[in-house]
């Protein structure tokens, strides 16, 4: 894409601009009329279109249209593999492009869900995208059979070449794509048996790597449109704050400044020719903030609320099995420990940004988003236009982790652009704004109690969670009788809710009581990669380690004893332990963790040393994962390593605190990420057992921190129960 672009809606969707045909599974949308926005020939003439999923040029290039967002996790490549498998095309000729949520709306949501989160990008769309590829193949083969006037059953296809068996005649996909436009979409589509897969399950090359390496890849912060101006913004830094007044006199005469304006009730923005000019002018604006609810909030004061929740009489019950009271009354030994995890920021490398153009007739937005349809809705609302007159063009994300599932930055960009009709406005946040205006991973504490009998058997376990509810803050309508099931990720009973079956407890205990005392601070909660599964894995797995040592048992054997009803979880735990050399006396201490979340079974074994001075070195983490089906083993390996960077950064260093309603940590100097020198070697064991589709991007993040914390105990005999680790001595003085 050129450095300076002027994209119409059609131009963006055209993508490769190759002559060809778009083919899809759902027959509800009729073939294109010649003015559809699907594809166009290099001459500018529109191409006939059967439907949504696959475009095939006369040069045999296959463009697969992907509704989900790419933010480094490999979704584009993985979903393209699913389609290409059933399409039987040549993988070396596959490229991808995004349709728009506006186009999806006009076509009765033919691409269905545009949301990318919860490790559901592949597992929640794998069936219908594969059907799209299979239907395309059937229609192409039918078109070739029609041309030859032979039964379709005599034809086969491999790597985009259709062959008539008896005659040996061949046709390439590109040669029959246009004919397929008139073929009736199949009413019934049969998918391949996994034993027949050739592309799914293979470590094929990623489709976005080359452009990233060469710098060709375009991100939202890179976008340039003809006549574009730039905006910088400052929102109230304290919780609940609003703009009371502002004095722009010092800024209005500064170089390049075109407009100083209030944005909603909470922010002030400056528009200028260049972003730096806008930001310097914004720094010169004198803003008076009016405090609101939460403007006096502090993390230190909130600690008392969290502690109170640990022993409060009332709490929501998320999982209850057996007679817990009897187990504790008859226990030979009761073990108790409390843990806590702080607020976290997503800290995406690319700060929030969006580019908008508004006129009275339409509004268009270019942005990195995890939820194109939510971004479209936010665009229409801020634009004051019917949603049919708006559209959003997704770009690859420079990090998402759940933060870009929200659309506050889109609303801001459109609000600013509305004041400058017809002029493209690019809004880019500073790093400090990005840190201050987050939707933060909720803070919680946990009080864990375990009952052991005289033989060291666990007879009952209780975990009381105290802390923030994501659903109460973002989607209160989704609460279950006031309870937030998300608070119990990885701890829920099977059958609690079919929507939560991917977050169930896989240990089998004689008696269980898991509760949540909801304590909500005036801080916006957010879905942060792995969400509550991360701290719940710490609470459960570190406490299981404590119970094992209290019982005088080997932590591996102790865990396996309560996994008899979950052989898949036991399998990944044993694989990680064996690969790491559990029980070896090689000078390294080892810690284990196993957890089930987002539909996948995961385990880790960390190897650490702690010097006499208390310096921690994480040498290696062996991770094993069973996601059911593994679409691309190379991408799974990369995602596991990436998730460990994120999870260990949080465990070692990450903590967002508040004073006087403001975020204390403003940049990476006070909210650091793990550096290369500190990153352990990661070995991944991918062991897909088949029969289900689990997640990859989030499940493994949960096992990194508990494995390291348990290894620290094995090295030092000291438990770390409060995160982050950074300020705590790992050895007693």
Q: What is the pLDDT of residues 525-579, one digit of tens each?
A: 999 999 999 999 999 999 999 999 999 999 999 999 999 999 999 999 999 999 9
Tell whether omega for the bond before 724 is within 30 degrees of 0, i.e. cis: yes
pLDDT at 35 over 70: no
pLDDT reported for residue 37: 33
> What average pLDDT does range 332-354 have in this prediction?
98
pLDDT reported for residue 650: 97
Q: What is the pLDDT of residues 680-704, one digit of tens each?
A: 999 999 999 999 999 998 999 999 9
> What average pLDDT does range 89-109 have in this prediction?
95
Distance CA 131, CA 121 (A): 16
* Token pair listed for 165: 């068996």
- Examine domains 9-214 and 220-293+352-428 and report if their fold is the same: yes
Beta strand pairing call for 94-97 and 62-65: parallel
Topology adopted by domain 9-214? Aldehyde Oxidoreductase; domain 4 (3.30.365)
Contact by Cβ (8 Å): 461, 450: yes
* Token pair listed for 232: 């910088």
pLDDT reported for residue 181: 81
User: Which of the 8 DSSP states describes residue 5?
Assistant: B
Q: Considering only CA atoms, which of 330, 317, 339 is closest in space to residue 510? A: 330
The residue extents of the domains of the chain are 9-214, 220-293+352-428, 299-344+440-716
Alpha helices in 88-118 (DSSP H): 101-106
> What average pLDDT does range 9-30 have in this prediction?
32
Distance CA 263, CA 279 (A): 15
Distance CA 124, CA 250 (A): 53
Distance CA 620, CA 76 (A): 30
Bridge partner list, 602: 595, 625
Q: Which CATH number fits domain 220-293+352-428: 3.50.50.60, 3.30.70.360, 3.40.50.150, 3.30.365.10?
A: 3.30.365.10
- pLDDT class of 49 with cuts at 50, 70, 90: low
* 3-state DSSP percent of the chain in helix, strand and coil, to 5: 35, 25, 45
- pLDDT class of 26 with cuts at 50, 70, 90: very low
> What average pLDDT does range 651-673 have in this prediction?
97
- pLDDT class of 4 with cuts at 50, 70, 90: very low
- pLDDT class of 499 with cuts at 50, 70, 90: confident
Indicate the CATH number for domain 299-344+440-716. 3.30.365.10
pLDDT reported for residue 732: 85
Query: What is the pLDDT of the chain when averaged over all its residues?
Result: 92
Q: Considering only CA atoms, which of 213, 635, 208 is closest in space to residue 396? A: 208
Distance CA 416, CA 427 (A): 9
Q: Considering only CA atoms, which of 369, 549, 391, 539 is closest in space to residue 456? A: 549
Contact by Cβ (8 Å): 84, 62: yes
pLDDT at 42 over 50: no
Q: How far out from the chain centre does Cα 577 lie? A: 28
pLDDT at 81 over 70: yes
* 432 CB burial (10 A radius; 0-12, 13-18, 19+): middle
Q: Which residues of 388-427 are buried (b: 16+ CB within 10 A; e: fewer)?
A: ebbbbbbbbbbbbbbbbbbbbbbbbbbbbbbebeebbbbb
For residues 435 and 49, the model is more confident at 435
* Token pair listed for 267: 């922010």
pTM of the model: 0.92
Distance CA 550, CA 528 (A): 33
- pLDDT class of 441 with cuts at 50, 70, 90: very high
Q: What is the pLDDT of residues 225-265, one digit of tens each?
A: 999 999 999 999 999 999 999 999 999 999 999 999 999 99
Q: What is the pLDDT of residues 472-497, one digit of tens each?
A: 999 999 999 999 999 999 999 999 98
> What average pLDDT does range 26-53 have in this prediction?
39
């Amino acid at each position: 894409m050129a450095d300076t672009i002027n994209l119409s809606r059609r131009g963006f969707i055209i993508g490769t601009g190759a002559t060809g045909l778009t083919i899809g599974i759902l027959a509800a949308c009729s073939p294109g009329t010649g003015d559809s926005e699907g594809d166009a020939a290099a001459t500018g003439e529109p191409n006939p279109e059967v439907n949504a999923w696959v475009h095939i040029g006369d040069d045999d290039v296959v463009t697969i249209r992907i509704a989900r967002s790419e933010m480094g996790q490999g979704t584009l490549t993985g979903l393209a593999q699913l389609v290409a498998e059933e399409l039987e095309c040549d993988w070396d000729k596959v490229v991808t492009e995004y349709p728009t949520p506006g186009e999806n709306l006009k076509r009765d949501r033919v691409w269905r869900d545009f949301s990318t989160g919860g490790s559901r990008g592949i597992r929640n769309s794998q069936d219908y995208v594969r059907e799209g590829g299979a239907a395309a193949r059937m229609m192409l083969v039918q078109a070739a059979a029609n041309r030859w006037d032979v039964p379709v059953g005599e034809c086969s296809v491999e790597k985009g070449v259709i062959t008539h068996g008896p005659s040996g005649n061949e046709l390439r996909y590109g040669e029959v794509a246009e004919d397929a436009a008139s073929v009736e979409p199949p009413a019934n589509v049969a998918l391949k048996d996994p034993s027949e897969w050739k592309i799914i399950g293979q470590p094929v090359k990623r489709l976005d790597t080359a452009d990233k390496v060469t710098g060709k890849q375009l991100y939202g912060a890179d976008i340039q449109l003809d006549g574009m101006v730039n905006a910088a913004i400052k929102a109230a830094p304290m919780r609940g704050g609003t703009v009371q007044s502002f004095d722009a006199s010092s800024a209005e005469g500064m170089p390049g400044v075109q407009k100083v304006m209030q944005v909603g009730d909470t922010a002030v923005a400056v528009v200028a020719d260049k972003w730096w000019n806008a930001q310097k002018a914004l720094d010169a604006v004198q803003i008076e903030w009016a405090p609101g609810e939460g403007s006096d909030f502090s993390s230190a004061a909130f600690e008392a609320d969290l502690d109170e929740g640990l022993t409060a009489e009332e709490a929501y019950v998320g999982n209850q099995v057996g007679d817990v009271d009897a187990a504790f009354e008859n226990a030979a030994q009761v073990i108790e420990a409390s843990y806590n995890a702080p607020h976290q920021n997503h800290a995406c490398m690319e700060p929030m940004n969006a580019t908008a153009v508004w006129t009275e007739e339409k509004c268009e937005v270019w942005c990195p988003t995890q939820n194109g349809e939510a971004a479209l809705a936010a665009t229409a609302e801020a634009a004051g236009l019917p949603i049919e007159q708006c559209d959003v063009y997704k770009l690859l994300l420079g990090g998402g982790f759940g933060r870009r599932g929200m659309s506050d930055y889109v609303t801001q960009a459109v609000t600013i652009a509305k004041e400058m009709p017809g002029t493209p406005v690019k809004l880019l946040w500073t790093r400090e704004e990005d840190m201050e205006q987050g939707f933060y991973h909720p803070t919680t504490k946990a009080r864990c109690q375990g009952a052991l009998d005289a033989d060291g058997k666990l007879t009952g376990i209780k975990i009381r969670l105290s802390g923030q509810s994501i659903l109460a803050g973002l989607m209160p309508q989704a609460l279950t009788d006031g309870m937030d099931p998300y608070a119990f990720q990885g701890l829920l009973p099977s059958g609690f809710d079919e929507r939560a079956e991917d977050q169930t407890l896989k240990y089998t205990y004689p008696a269980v009581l898991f509760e949540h005392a909801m304590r909500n601070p005036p801080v916006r909660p957010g879905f942060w990669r792995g969400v509550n599964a991360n701290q719940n894995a710490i609470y459960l797995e570190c406490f299981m380690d404590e119970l094992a040592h209290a019982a005088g048992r080997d932590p591996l054997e102790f865990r396996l004893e309560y996994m008899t009803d979950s052989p898949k979880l036991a399998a990944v735990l044993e694989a990680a332990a064996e690969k790491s050399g559990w029980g070896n006396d090689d000078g390294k201490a080892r810690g284990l963790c196993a957890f089930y979340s987002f539909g996948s079974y995961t385990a880790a074994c960390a190897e650490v040393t702690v010097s006499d001075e208390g310096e921690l070195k994480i040498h290696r983490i062996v991770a094993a994962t069973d996601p059911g089906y593994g679409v691309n083993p190379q991408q799974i390996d990369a995602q596991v390593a990436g998730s460990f960077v994120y999870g260990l950064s949080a465990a070692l260093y990450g903590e967002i605190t508040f004073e006087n309603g403001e975020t204390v940590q403003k940049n990476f100097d006070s909210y650091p990420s793990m550096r290369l020198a500190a990153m352990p070697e990661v070995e991944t064991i991918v062991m897909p057992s088949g029969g289900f589709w689990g997640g990859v991007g989030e499940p493994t993040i949960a096992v990194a921190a508990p494995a390291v914390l348990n290894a620290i105990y094995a090295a030092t005999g000291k438990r770390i129960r409060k995160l982050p680790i950074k300020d705590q001595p790992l050895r007693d003085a």
